[in-house]
Structure 1
Amino acid sequence: MNDPVTNDPPARRRPVEAATALVRSLPGRFTSPLHSERVAAQLGIWLGISFTVALVTGLISHFMQHPPSWMLWPSRPVNLYRVTQGVHVIGGLATIPLLLAKLWSVYPRLWQWPPLRSLSHAVERGLVLLLVGGALFQLITGLLNISYAYLWPFSFPAAHYWTSYVLYGALLIHVVNEWAKVRANLWTRERVEAPEVTRSRRRFLGTVAAACGLTVLVTVGETFAPLSKLAVLAPRAPDVGPQGIPVNRTALAAGVTETIRRPDFRLTVTGAVRAELSLTLAELTAMPQHTVRLPISCVEGWSAEADWTGVRLRDLAERAGAAPEAVLVVESLERSGAYNSSEVRAPHWNDPLTLLALRINGSPLDPDHGYPLRLIAPNRPGVLQTKWVTRVVVS
């Protein structure tokens, strides 16, 4: 006979009832003392610190690449972006084992029954879903991005930027909701724990910390040269590439292999100037040359230093009669691409370290490094160090 309430036959009810009974029994199967509020609270503190550092350094990276009109980033210290982006990427990688450990410590709670006990409980679980989903999205897409595996149709920078606000907002609400438990588990002196539980917890947390430390050790060499030989998991070794410097976009990929060799090449300085300039490669080489040591610092976390030799950008701007507060737009021979030009604002182009470089480490630029002319400036993302420069527009 059918059930008088559901009108379902017994054969149909049995699988549903069995699945329900299984889910209800799951929490009782996780008996390890490491599935505890104390372990979750300690890992949560570490994750909160890690995500805060990632948010701050990520916002620095975003606004250095896409500064609002009112924002003027300084040109010094020259390694500021190199450090903040290195911390962002390498710290993000080290967060992966930490997040996995946190999820392992709390996943019995995911099987609570009933899954939604009230409206407030539903909101709380929804926020946890945002927190977990946002964290996984940021770390997985971030890992794929630095590995140059673009498996999605959307813009990674935009998605990464906006998801960071959702993630951190959910994190703040979660901290407020769970703060009483954190305080009770970490800062209540009366709390007593069995010795074997204490040893197990410390071994587990020590293993997690070691995994995070090992992740840092095998990647930090991509930006910290003395440890470059240990950077076995880094997507770009800091000394592998033409002339000992890595390359993300080659001359072939940019479609400039023929135009960069044309004998009629000119660098023009135009726009809001008293006198436009049109200079051949020979004329640029005849101008006073300056050598500076600056890093190329990529958004993927790697960076490498080199000696760059060329013409100061401020010398060209002053020769053309540009105003000291002007904005310069440096344009490439590359006709397409998101970074075939870049703005250089007053703090940078007035800095004597900012060059239109002709040489690297004493040799003419390789085509993949921007021959015949490339921008190199302190404290700027590598994507804004425009290669194959042919024009400077003053506004």
Structure 2
Amino acid sequence: MVRRPALLRPTLPKPPAVLTTLPGRFTSRLHDERVASWLGIALGVSILVSFGTGLVSHFMQQPAGWMLWPSRPVNLYRVTQGVHVIGGLATVPLLLAKLWTVYPKLWQWPPVRSIVHGVERALVFVLVGAALFQFVTGVLNIGYWYAFRFYFTTAHYWTAYILFGALLIHVANEWSKARRTVMTRPQDAVGRRGFLLTVAAASGVVALTTVGEAFTPLARLAVLAPRRPGDGPQGVPVNKSAAATGVTSAARDPGWRLTVTGRVARPVTLSLADLRALPQHTARLPISCVEGWSVEANWRGVRLRDVLRMAGVAGDARVRVESLEPYGLYRTSRVDAPHWRDPLTLLALGLNGEPLDLDHGYPCRLIAPNRPGVMQTKWVHRLVVL
């Protein structure tokens, strides 16, 4: 057998000593499989809950053509979006603790031992990257700080599928090891238990100081919430003012009219005085924002179904509600039959016993049960029957 000369044998460059000796420096008992497994289980459950509630939020705001969301229960969106945002914030300590526990594995040498090992590490990279992207951009969105140039809703929606898929693969790959590790009782569990309880307490504190944005009795504790019940005109927060959207003059115009057009038996045009002369109804409904905050209020106005029936609208019609806003993704919203036929759906003219404030949509706004706040269109001036 002819041996290849030593000079021609392929050799790998010798890694720096700092990389080969670094793994031995991670001596804490908390960098072990048991802690990582418990944190991974909690984190996986939290991500699954966020994924499910996030889909509800997305498809309520951007429903497919065949989707008909119910108008009841009234607080469905309020609960699901509150769980999505408040639970997502409470997950941040879990994610940070999980990353801290497993980060010594990032310094393993050689970094890739085989093709299969390389694929596994790549999937973990995707999982970690997607999780960090979702939580960092989610927190920025909640705080109304858009430090990125991409459209948050689209990026958040599609990255959620990447995160969900990577999580499923990771669970399938690690399940047997995690199950074996969790079921084995360690000899010394005091330090590990204290660490896990500290992480759980941190998540609890985050939830407690945020939940008041949706649960009014705890509003005073909501120091991390961007909006709290009671703040804002007439005791209800606002995200966009009339001045910011450029509708002040048009909304205050004495010549303002509400028109009903499109596929109608007879077009209808109503002044503010005409609307006030119609039968008035009161509904206690929440404004529930995508950022997680919500607050109940007493709204008074005309039932949307009464106005549409004046125009002879068919019972299965869809209606596009148009705002005076000159531009914006949510200057219009679609109201399907289950909502506009609901007696709680109003063209509101008053709020909490007072005439509607300009920043809340004066002279007329939509308020309906089980709808995201961005779809409760303000400064309404036209109803188009589709």
TM-score interval, smaller chain: over 0.9
Supply the distance in 1 between the matched residues of 2:157 and 2:198 (Cα, whole angstroms).
31
Supply the distance in 2 between the matched residues of 1:236 and 1:79 (Cα, whole angstroms).
18
Equivalent residue, structure 2, for 1:10 = none
Q: Which amino acid aligns with 1:275?
A: R
Aligned positions of 1:103-252 closer than 5 A:
103-187=99-183, 191-194=184-187, 197-252=188-243
Aligned positions of 1:49-68 closer than 5 A:
49-68=45-64
**1:193 Cα shift?**
2.0
- Kindly indicate whether residue 284 of structure 2 is the aligned counterpart of residue 293 of structure 1: yes
Q: TM-score when scaled to structure 2? A: 0.96
**1:5 Cα shift?**
8.2
Q: Deviations over 1:293-336 (max 9, x none)?
A: 00000000000111000000000111110000000001011110
Equivalent residue, structure 2, for 1:265 = 256
Supply the distance in 2 between the matched residues of 1:270 and 1:222 (Cα, whole angstroms).
38
Equivalent residue, structure 1, for 2:17 = 21
The alignment partner of 2:74 has SS state of coil
Equivalent residue, structure 2, for 1:362 = 353
Equivalent residue, structure 2, for 1:89 = 85
Equivalent residue, structure 2, for 1:341 = 332
Supply the distance in 2 between the matched residues of 1:271 and 1:169 (Cα, whole angstroms).
43
Aligned pairs, number: 379
Supply the distance in 2 between the matched residues of 1:145 and 1:163 (Cα, whole angstroms).
15
2:295 corresponds, among 270, 289, 304, to 304
Supply the distance in 1 between the matched residues of 2:263 and 2:120 (Cα, whole angstroms).
57
Supply the distance in 1 between the matched residues of 2:308 and 2:185 (Cα, whole angstroms).
71
Supply the distance in 1 between the matched residues of 2:261 and 2:353 (Cα, whole angstroms).
30
Q: TM-score when scaled to structure 1? A: 0.94
**1:183 Cα shift?**
1.4
Structure 2 residues without counterparts, runs of 5 or longer: 1-6
Q: Which amino acid aligns with 2:186?
A: E
Supply the distance in 2 between the matched residues of 1:220 and 1:5 (Cα, whole angstroms).
67
Supply the distance in 2 between the matched residues of 1:5 and 1:151 (Cα, whole angstroms).
53
**1:239 Cα shift?**
1.4
Supply the distance in 2 between the matched residues of 1:5 and 1:339 (Cα, whole angstroms).
67
Q: Which amino acid aligns with 2:88?
A: G
2:266 corresponds, among 265, 270, 275, to 275
Q: Which amino acid aligns with 1:276?
A: P
2:97 corresponds, among 101, 107, 127, to 101
Equivalent residue, structure 2, for 1:330 = 321
In percent, how many aligned pairs have the same letter?
65
The alignment partner of 2:154 has SS state of helix
Equivalent residue, structure 1, for 2:43 = 47
Equivalent residue, structure 2, for 1:74 = 70
CA-based RMSD of the aligned residues comes to 1.5
Q: Which amino acid aligns with 1:329?
A: R
**1:192 Cα shift?**
4.8
Q: Which amino acid aligns with 2:293?
A: W
Equivalent residue, structure 2, for 1:317 = 308
Q: Deviations over 1:21-72 (max 9, x none)?
A: 1011111100111100011011010011000000000000000000001010
Supply the distance in 1 between the matched residues of 2:102 and 2:216 (Cα, whole angstroms).
39
Supply the distance in 2 between the matched residues of 1:34 and 1:281 (Cα, whole angstroms).
66
Change (3 A) 1:149 1:5: farther
Supply the distance in 2 between the matched residues of 1:297 and 1:129 (Cα, whole angstroms).
35
The alignment partner of 2:285 has SS state of strand
Supply the distance in 1 between the matched residues of 2:173 and 2:118 (Cα, whole angstroms).
14
Q: Deviations over 1:169-199 (max 9, x none)?
A: 0001001111111111112xxx3522xx300
The alignment partner of 1:258 has SS state of helix
Q: Which amino acid aligns with 1:193?
A: P
**1:20 Cα shift?**
1.8
The alignment partner of 2:189 has SS state of helix
Supply the distance in 2 between the matched residues of 1:327 and 1:222 (Cα, whole angstroms).
32
